[in-house]
Chains A and B, each alone.
Chain A
C-alpha cells in the first residue's frame, strides 16, 4: 500500500509561507510610497508658497519705492515676461477700495479672485492661500493663489492698504508629483518581484529538510518498518519531529512483530492438540460404531482436518510476514510459462469436472528469480478463487506477459466480478465476499496468501475488471536479471 503524500492541497506550505511574507513586504512598500507621495507634495507646495511670498515681498518693496525706481507696471512686465521656467506666475494688486493698482499682462482680461469675505472695509493685515481654477487656461489647470493684505508705508506718500495676490500654475507641480509617484511604483514593483523570487527560494531551502523527510518517510511501510528517518544532528524542530516519528515507528514495529509472532506461535501451539484430537478420532473410527455415531464423528474429523489446513495456512502467512527462512529460498530460476503449464495441467481435470473451460491465454518468454513452490501455491490459490466464482460453461484464462521491469501472471475469470469498493478488502485476512457463492472450502486466506507471496518476491497483486465483467488478477513480479 502507498502512503499518499499531501500534494493534493490547493496551496503548498512553501507557497503559503512565500505569499504571506510577500504580502507583508507589499503592504510595507505601499505605505512607504503613500508617505513618500504625501511628503513630496507638501514639500513642493511649501516651496511654491515660499516663492509666492518672496514675490509678494518684492511687490511691497516696489510699492514702498525703497530699493529701485521701477514702477509697479515695469516690475510686473519684467517679472512675467516669458522664460524657460516651467512655472508661470500671476500678479494682481488692488487697493483697499478694490481698484487695480497693477496686474500682470499674462492674466489678460481675467483677474485673480479675492478670498471670500475680503471686502474693502477690512483693513487688517492677513495672508490667505487658495487653490482655484486657472482663469487664463481653458483646459482647467489649477493655480495656487496667495493673497496678502498689507499696509504700505512709502516714504513719499501716506500709508495705504493694498491687497497683493501672487499666483502660480500648478501644472508642472502636478507633473513632478506624478512622476515621483510613478518612479517609486516602478522601482517597488521591480524589487517586489525580485523579493517574491527570493522568498520562494529561501522558503524552498528552509523546507528542503522537510521534503527530504517526507521522501524518507514515504519509503517506510509495513514491510520495511526497520528503516528510520535520518537525523541531521542540528537538534532543531525537524530533528525533534524525526525523533518522535522514529520512536513511533519503534513502537509500531514492536507491536507488529509481537502480532506476527503471536499468530505464528498460536498456529504452532494448536498443532499438538489437533494431532491428539485427530489421532484419537482415527482410533475411535476404526472400532465398532453405530452408523449415527460414525457419521457424527466423521463430521468432527472433517472439521479437525479443516482446522489443520487453516493452521497450516496461518503459519504460512506468518512466515511470509516474518520473512522466515522456513519458506525456503528465493533464488530459483522459475520459468513462468512452464510453471503455468504445470499448474494448469494439474488443475484442468478439476475445472473440467465443474464444466469450466480453463485456458492458456497469451504466453511470453517470462522467467523470474523466486521460490517455485510458493509461486505454484500462489497460482493455485488464484485458480481456486477463479474457478469457485466462475459459472458452469464459462472460461478461466491464465496468461503471462512481460513489460519493462516486471513480469505479470494474470488470471481472468468469468464470475460476477468484484465491485471497486471491495477490491482492497478481498486481500484482508478472513474477509469473505458477501456474494454468498462461497463454498465451505474457502477460508478467506487464499488471496491474502497470494498477496503475501507476491510481497515476499518484492512484487504485488493487482485486481482489475476483466473484459467479460469478471475479475482479473495480476500477480506482478519484479524482473531481476541473473
Chain B
C-alpha cells in the first residue's frame, strides 16, 4: 500500500512516516504544494494524507486541481485548521476524510484503513459478519437465525461497525458518523452503547463478535484480533 504524506513540518512528517512504515505502508513524503500535486497526479497512490498549510500552494488548491484532473485517490486532510468552514471546504473540494491535529496515531491509521476499505466496497444494503446478518432496508438483525431487537441508535452503531468489519473504528469516527458530531463531553456514551450492543449481540452467544482494541476503539470481527 503506497501512501503519499504531504506535510511541511519535518518533525511531524518524521513520526507519521515511521508509524505508517511500521504499519506496513510504504510512504512517500512531499513538502510543498506543487510537488504534492505533481506526485498525486503522476504516481498511483492508494491514499494521500494532506496537510493544508503547505508552501506555494495550499492543500485545498492541490486537492481541487487533482480532482479536476480526474484523480480519484482517497484523500485524508490532516490539519490544525478545525473551523467548520475549513472542514466543509475540504470535503467540498473532494476530500474523503478530515482529521484535526493533534490526533492520536491509532486514529490516523484506523481512518486510512477505513478509506482503503471504502474504495473496495460497493454501497451495500445488507451486511454479514459470521452468523450475524443485518438488513438496512428492513432494519432487521438476526444472529444464528434468531431475531434481535435494537433501538435505532444501536442499529446505526452496529451498522457502522459491520460496514467496517475487520477494521478498527475509533470512538471519534463513531461519534462523527453515528452521532454526526464530535463532542468533548460524554465521550463514554459510545462505551455505554457498545455495552448495550454486547448484551444483545454477544452475551447470549458463545462466540464474541465485538472486540475492544485498547486505546484505539472497537472492532467487529469473527476472529479475535
Residues on A lying within 8 angstroms of B by beta carbon are 268, 271-272, 274-280, 282-283, 285-286, 298, 304-305, 308-309, 311-313, 315, 319, 324-328, 345-347, 349-350, 352-353, 373, 376-377, 380-381, 383-384, 446
CB 8 Å contact bits of B77-111 with A (1 = contact, 0 = none): 00010111110000000000000011111100000
Q: B189 within 8 Å of A by Cβ?
A: yes
State how many angstroms separate the Cβ of B194 from the closest Cβ of chain A: 10
Contact among B18, B86, B103 for A283, CB-based, below 8 A: B18
Q: In chain A, what residue has the closest Cβ to B23?
A: A286
Contact between chains at B101 and A271 (CB < 8 Å) = yes
Contact between chains at B84 and A373 (CB < 8 Å) = yes
Complex alpha-carbon distance, A309 and B102, angstroms: 9
Q: In chain A, what residue has the closest Cβ to B214?
A: A298
Chain B residues within 8 Å of A381, by CB: 185
CB 8 Å contact bits of B185-208 with A (1 = contact, 0 = none): 110110011001000000000000
Contact between chains at A278 and B104 (CB < 8 Å) = yes
CB 8 Å contact bits of B165-198 with A (1 = contact, 0 = none): 0000000000000010101111011001100100
CB 8 Å contact bits of B50-88 with A (1 = contact, 0 = none): 000000000000000000000000000000101111100
Chain B residues within 8 Å of A298, by CB: 215
Contact between chains at A275 and B12 (CB < 8 Å) = yes
Contact between chains at A268 and B80 (CB < 8 Å) = yes
Q: B34 within 8 Å of A by Cβ?
A: no
Contact between chains at A313 and B15 (CB < 8 Å) = no
Chain A residues within 8 Å of B18, by CB: 283
Complex alpha-carbon distance, A275 and B86, angstroms: 19
Chain A residues within 8 Å of B196, by CB: 349
Task: Give the B interface residue count (CB, 8 A).
Answer: 33
Contact between chains at A327 and B84 (CB < 8 Å) = yes
Contact between chains at A446 and B85 (CB < 8 Å) = no
State how many angstroms separate the Cβ of A26 from the closest Cβ of chain B: 69
Complex alpha-carbon distance, A448 and B15, angstroms: 36
Complex alpha-carbon distance, A319 and B104, angstroms: 24
The 3 closest A-B pairs by CB, nearest first: A326-B83, A282-B105, A349-B192
Q: B28 within 8 Å of A by Cβ?
A: no
Contact between chains at B185 and A446 (CB < 8 Å) = yes
State how many angstroms separate the Cβ of B179 from the closest Cβ of chain A: 6
Complex alpha-carbon distance, A350 and B188, angstroms: 7
Contact between chains at A349 and B189 (CB < 8 Å) = yes
CB 8 Å contact bits of B96-137 with A (1 = contact, 0 = none): 000001111110000000000000000000000000000000
Chain B residues within 8 Å of A326, by CB: 82-86
Number of residue pairs A-B, CB distance < 8 angstroms: 99
State how many angstroms separate the Cβ of B54 from the closest Cβ of chain A: 13
Q: In chain B, what residue has the closest Cβ to A445?
A: B184
Chain A residues within 8 Å of B150, by CB: none
Chain A residues within 8 Å of B15, by CB: 276, 279-280, 282-283
Contact between chains at A272 and B80 (CB < 8 Å) = yes
Chain A residues within 8 Å of B184, by CB: 309, 312-313
Chain B residues within 8 Å of A347, by CB: 186, 189
Mostly, the A contact residues are: helix
Q: In chain B, what residue has the closest Cβ to A372?
A: B181
Complex alpha-carbon distance, A73 and B172, angstroms: 136
State how many angstroms separate the Cβ of B45 from the closest Cβ of chain A: 21
Contact among A275, A283, A304, A376 for B181, CB-based, below 8 A: A376
Q: B43 within 8 Å of A by Cβ?
A: no
State how many angstroms separate the Cβ of A169 from the closest Cβ of chain B: 103
Chain A residues within 8 Å of B186, by CB: 346-347, 350, 380, 383-384
Contact between chains at A319 and B83 (CB < 8 Å) = yes
Given A278-B102, A279-B12, A376-B181, 17 more A-B residue pairs with CB atoms under 8 Å apart are A276-B11, A276-B15, A278-B105, A279-B15, A282-B104, A282-B105, A282-B106, A283-B19, A305-B104, A324-B83, A325-B83, A326-B83, A326-B86, A349-B189, A349-B196, A373-B181, A383-B185
Contact among B86, B106, B179 for A346, CB-based, below 8 A: B179
Complex alpha-carbon distance, A30 and B83, angstroms: 77
Contact among A275, A345, A352 for B153, CB-based, below 8 A: A345
Contact between chains at B85 and A275 (CB < 8 Å) = no
Chain B residues within 8 Å of A277, by CB: 102
CB 8 Å contact bits of B1-43 with A (1 = contact, 0 = none): 0000000010110011011001000000000000000000000
Query: Could you pull out 25 A-B pairs where Cβ atoms are within 8 angstroms?
Result: A272-B12, A275-B80, A276-B11, A282-B104, A283-B15, A283-B18, A286-B105, A305-B104, A309-B184, A319-B83, A324-B83, A326-B83, A326-B86, A327-B83, A328-B85, A345-B153, A346-B186, A346-B189, A347-B186, A350-B189, A353-B188, A373-B84, A376-B183, A380-B186, A383-B186
Chain A residues within 8 Å of B181, by CB: 373, 376
Chain B residues within 8 Å of A350, by CB: 186, 188-189, 192
Complex alpha-carbon distance, A287 and B51, angstroms: 27
Complex alpha-carbon distance, A446 and B184, angstroms: 10
Complex alpha-carbon distance, A118 and B146, angstroms: 148
Chain A residues within 8 Å of B153, by CB: 345
Contact between chains at A349 and B193 (CB < 8 Å) = yes
Q: In chain A, what residue has the closest Cβ to B188?
A: A350
Chain A residues within 8 Å of B16, by CB: 279
Complex alpha-carbon distance, A305 and B105, angstroms: 12
Contact between chains at B183 and A380 (CB < 8 Å) = yes
Complex alpha-carbon distance, A315 and B82, angstroms: 9
Chain A residues within 8 Å of B11, by CB: 276
Complex alpha-carbon distance, A132 and B220, angstroms: 129
